[in-house]
Structure 1
Amino acid sequence: MTEIVLFHSVLGLRPGVLETATQWRQAGHVVHVPDLYGGAVFDDYDDAFAWFDGYGGQPELLRRAGEAVAGLPSRVVYAGYSNGVLPAIQLAASRPGALGALLFHGSVPLRAVGAELWPSSVPAQVHEGEHDPFRENDLNDEFAETVSAAGAAYQYFSYPGVTTHLFADSSLPREHHREAAGTMNGRAQRFLAACG
């Protein structure tokens, strides 16, 4: 059994994220899914990013994420969908006791979230669609180099033929890629089992 904190994407706490949490709970894990938007949910990226900027952007997101985990045990896996990788990476790097970082739909360098060092004991796994419109290879490469240089285990999975961003979110029919999402969940489940 592994304890996990799963952060939602820029679109808010959508049903697809809750479905992932349910699957992990059914596998025997304890999963916390904080709502960092206070109930705001979006279907459109432009609307979501406009709201996000007004909400306070990344500093406010990281502040709320820190508050959300303040009362939780230190030995957890931090996971995130898209924009949720920001707090997942920051907390995995800076909050002592992290068991791992599970990052869906991209990653960012530590400098992007105000962190400096990656703990050698914290494995990271990154998942991304091959043709994700938000994909930034240089950012992924920098994160990978930092984790590997620290001596931590690192895995990166690219999903061939996937042209959407949040392909694992089953509540977004135009984005969801069932086969890739199933493969991703299987890999994530093995990662979580190894972290427990």
Structure 2
Amino acid sequence: MAEILLFHHALGLTEGVRAFADGLRRAGHTVHAPDLYDGRVFDDLETGVAHSSETGFTERADRIAGELPEALVYVGFSLGVMPAQRLAQTRPGALGALLISGCLPVDVFAEKWPEGVPVQVHGMDADPYFAGEGDLAAARELVAGAADRELFLYPGTAHLFTERGTPSYVPDATALCAERALSFLEDIGA
């Protein structure tokens, strides 16, 4: 089983993020899902993003990662993709990455994606943030020609499609994303 460091999105450590982490735990994985907002949860992305800059989101993520073993799978949702992807690319010992509703160009963090570090990227094909702001293009470039890198697109416009209890929640896409993530983690933990 894998040990996972999971970073929440701009809304905070919400019900949807907790539910996803709990699903991974039920499958036998060890999941660290730190609350980088100290209990604060937001209703809109813009307010959450503004709060993330005030709290030192990235620095807190680094500090938490430094307290854990190097052999981790990094998971990030939207804003949480930033530290997850950076750590997967730059921290020695990374076992893999799951990037959900976000992906940055590889060269933002390093010259190339590290060999032997598998990755899955999940997003909605018409999400104005993921598809419209360059994340989809970055994901396509990341997975191009690599057997251990996959991009999964789901039909729809929702950005935080895994976020239960919100209008953006897409149950079928969330279930398929979770199933694919568990299969990915099973392969890593084997």
TM-score (normalizing by structure 2): 0.91
Would you say 1:189 and 2:182 are equivalent positions?
A: yes
Q: How far apart are residue 46 of structure 1 and its match?
A: 2.6
2:170 to 168, 174, 177: 177
Unaligned runs of 5+ in 2: none
Equivalences, count: 188
Relative to 1, partners in 2 of residues 1:78 and 1:163: Cα closer, same or farther, differing over 3 Å? same
TM-score using structure 1 length: 0.88
- Please tell me whether residue 72 in structure 1 is matched to residue 68 in structure 2: yes
Superposition deviation, residue 183 in structure 1: 0.8
Q: Which one of 122, 128, 142 corresponds to residue 127 of structure 1?
A: 122
Alignment check: 8 A CA contact 1:118 1:147 kept: no
8 Å Cα contact 2:103/2:138 also seen in 1: no
Task: After superposing the two structures, state which structure 1 stretch, 174-183 or 102-111, moved more.
Answer: 102-111
Structure 1 contact 168–180 (Cα < 8 Å) conserved: yes
What value does the CA root-mean-square deviation take over the aligned residues?
1.8
Kept in 2: contact 1:7–1:81 (CA 8 A):
yes
1:7–1:87 Cα contact (<8 Å) kept: yes
Q: Cα distance, 1:61 vs. partner?
A: 2.3
Aligned residue runs from structure 1 range 97-136, under 5 A: 97-112=93-108, 114-136=109-131
Q: Which residue of 1 aligns with 2:4?
A: 4
Distance 1:167 1:143 in 2: 17
Determine if the alignment matches structure 1 residue 155 to structure 2 residue 150: yes
The answer to whether the 8 A contact 1:144-1:154 is kept is: no
Give how far 1:28 is off.
Answer: 0.5
Q: How far 1:147 sits from its partner (Å)?
A: 5.4
- 1:142 Cα deviation after fit: 3.2
Seq. identity, %: 43
> CA 1:141–1:182 in structure 2 vs 1: closer, same or farther (change >3 Å)?
same
Per-residue CA shift, 1:56-115, capped at 9, x if unaligned?
A: 6xxx32211110111211111000111110001000011111110101112111343x33
Q: Which amino acid aligns with 1:68?
A: I
In 2: Cα distance, 1:152 partner to 1:95 partner: 22
- In structure 1, C-alpha distance between the alignment counterparts of 2:91 and 2:84, rounded to whole Å: 10
Tell me how far apart the structure 2 counterparts of residues 118 and 29 of structure 1 sit (CA, whole Å): 25
Alpha-carbon displacement from aligned partner over 1:148-189 (angstroms, at most 9, x marks no partner)? 57x5611001102x22110111132x0100111111110011
Aligned to 2:37: 37
Contact kept, 8 Å, 1:109 with 1:142, in 2: the verdict is: yes
